[in-house]
Structure 1
Amino acid sequence: MAAQMTDAHRRFLQVLMSNGITEGSEARKIHQHCCETDKVYYAHDKLDDFISTINSHLQPLFMQIRKGLSEDDGRAHYAVVNLAETEVTKMASDYTEIELELFRKTMDLIILSENGFASSTDILNLADQFKTKKMKKKEAEQVLKVFVEDKWLSEKNGEYTLHTRCIIEMEQYILSNYQDVARKCNICHSLAIQSQVCESCGIGMHLPCVRKYFRAQAEPRCPKCNEFWSCDIPGMSRMGSQTHHRTPFLALDDASKT
């Protein structure tokens, strides 16, 4: 039987929904604030249990709070996901058809790229190849800016990648539509758009998982095929190692798991 929803749970859910995406440390502060405001027992180390209670009540509504881990720094983020809408069409109410076409093509470039990034030049070159009507490059630049503001894309030095929010919400869509290239991390079994890849057997691992896994190993060997791990391990320098990796961005995890 599911644990009872309290006003603290409802308040927490409301804040998360209005935020779109919430960083882990902020989610912990919200958790504490909600419990203290509604005079509910607060356990600082039980955020995932608290979220699990909410998820059990969201299940009949085909919704879920999910946790995503940034591959850059391993920090957790939380977002409310509508499980009934797992495709890009969930964005249809906010964007025009031509804007959605730009997003789909941008996602293609990012996921199919070697490093998980797409340059603004490559994206803008797509704008005059659309099936419906053409989009001027100035218009496309403005739309990309909106996608960044709305946290579907991230941009750094003219390079675009999928934002944490996008990967959390689009996980099923990405796994279904990019089966040949989308992989899960061999360690945490979460979606890895970008990762380090074993040159021998092809498994992928997020950088935070690489760091943790090899920290406990005498020498870096692939957890699957046991061949020497030739990628540069973050925080460790090895002479003569060959670099062959995909820069990481996000690991996904179901927040209902502990």
Structure 2
Amino acid sequence: MAAVEADEEEATAGPCPKDMELAVSIINKVIKGLNMEIRCAQDEITPAKYYLLVNTVDSHISRTFSKFSAAELEFFKTVLSEIVTSEDGCISSTACLNLNSSLPGNMTKSDTEALLEKFCKYQWLYQKDGKVHLTILSIVELEPLILSAYEDYVNICRLCKRIVMQGYRCDRCLALLHLHCVHLYTKGVDRIHSCPVCSADQPEMLAAVKNIPFHSGDDNRIPSASSRENKTGKGSARK
């Protein structure tokens, strides 16, 4: 529904500072009856954290996107499908614009370009380096729908147990992990080089997050490798 980026002062205190947690808790009690909830979520690529106002009951895409027309909704559903079923968790901007040929009606590339800009404006999609991605708002808000409709394609981060589109992939077991989860996981000296899923030596894990200025957070959110079973399980790698 909405995404607000945590400011720098708040972010340095962790994913959800105590005073903010209290404020969010109070607000959530008030809006619970409206089937709404504020959630704190970490962007998959950048160190940015967001406070998201999401619908907790009805994640049906046509009602979540009630402000958009049927044609616009069809475009987003097609983009969503292409991204979720892709091996990279994103699609090229060119491929996105070329979706006009697979959509009903006489939609042109100019039309799809305008729609892409519109969905980026409303923070459901974003473009970076010629690629189109789902925003953290889309992932959090549409998580039930994505898990239900794309079960065979969805990657689940084995560290936080949530959907992951972009991150670090183990070259042995192919498990995909959030970069921010890898950041927290590799902070412990005894687990720096081992994949949390298959225990394979992965020195590249450090390089993957070395230049990303993640803010300090609660390490207890990430369990130690010894507390989990070393198996990939459903959803650990794209088909």
- Normalising by structure 2, we get a TM-score of 0.75
Taking the TM superposition and a 5 Å limit, the aligned residue runs for 1:61-76 are 61-76=34-49
Establish whether residue 196 from structure 1 lines up as the match of residue 168 from structure 2: yes
| Aligned equivalent of 2:6, options 5, 24, 35 | 24
Establish whether residue 165 from structure 1 lines up as the match of residue 137 from structure 2: yes
Establish whether residue 98 from structure 1 lines up as the match of residue 98 from structure 2: no
SS of 1:115's partner is coil
SS of 1:121's partner is helix
Q: Give the CA deviation at 1:26.
A: 7.4
Instruction: Tell me which amino acid in the other structure corresponds to 1:168.
Output: V
SS of 1:155's partner is strand
Q: Distance in 1 between matches of 2:9 and 2:83?
A: 29
Instruction: Tell me which amino acid in the other structure corresponds to 2:149.
Output: N
Q: Give the CA deviation at 1:152.
A: 0.9
Q: Distance in 2 between matches of 1:150 and 1:67?
A: 18
Instruction: Tell me which amino acid in the other structure corresponds to 2:92.
Output: S
Q: Give the CA deviation at 1:145.
A: 0.9
Aligned to 2:102: 129
Instruction: Tell me which amino acid in the other structure corresponds to 2:96.
Output: I
Taking the TM superposition and a 5 Å limit, the aligned residue runs for 1:41-120 are 45-120=18-93
Q: Distance in 2 between matches of 1:197 and 1:67?
A: 24
Matched-pair contact (CA < 8 Å) for 2:179–2:209? no
Q: Give the CA deviation at 1:91.
A: 4.2
SS of 2:7's partner is helix
Q: Give the CA deviation at 1:143.
A: 1.0
Q: How many residues align?
A: 204
Q: Give the CA deviation at 1:193.
A: 1.7
Q: Give the CA deviation at 1:191.
A: 2.2
Instruction: Tell me which amino acid in the other structure corresponds to 2:200.
Output: E
Q: Give the CA deviation at 1:146.
A: 0.8
- Normalising by structure 1, we get a TM-score of 0.70
Q: Give the CA deviation at 1:184.
A: 2.6
Q: Percent identity?
A: 29
Q: Distance in 2 between matches of 1:225 and 1:71?
A: 22
| Aligned equivalent of 1:209, options 171, 174, 181 | 181
Matched-pair contact (CA < 8 Å) for 2:40–2:52? yes
Instruction: Tell me which amino acid in the other structure corresponds to 1:114.
Output: E
Deviations 1:196-223 (A, max 9, x none): 2334434321112112212323451122
SS of 2:185's partner is helix
- Residues 90-99 or 196-205, more deviating: 196-205
Matched-pair contact (CA < 8 Å) for 2:59–2:141? yes
**Unaligned ranges ≥5, structure 2:** 12-16, 212-239
Aligned to 2:124: 152
Instruction: Tell me which amino acid in the other structure corresponds to 1:25.
Output: D
Closer/same/farther in 2, CA of residues 224 and 212 from structure 1, 3 Å limit: same
Instruction: Tell me which amino acid in the other structure corresponds to 2:165.
Output: I
CA RMSD after TM alignment: 2.6
Matched-pair contact (CA < 8 Å) for 1:63–1:80? yes
Matched-pair contact (CA < 8 Å) for 2:36–2:56? yes
Q: Distance in 2 between matches of 1:151 and 1:73?
A: 15
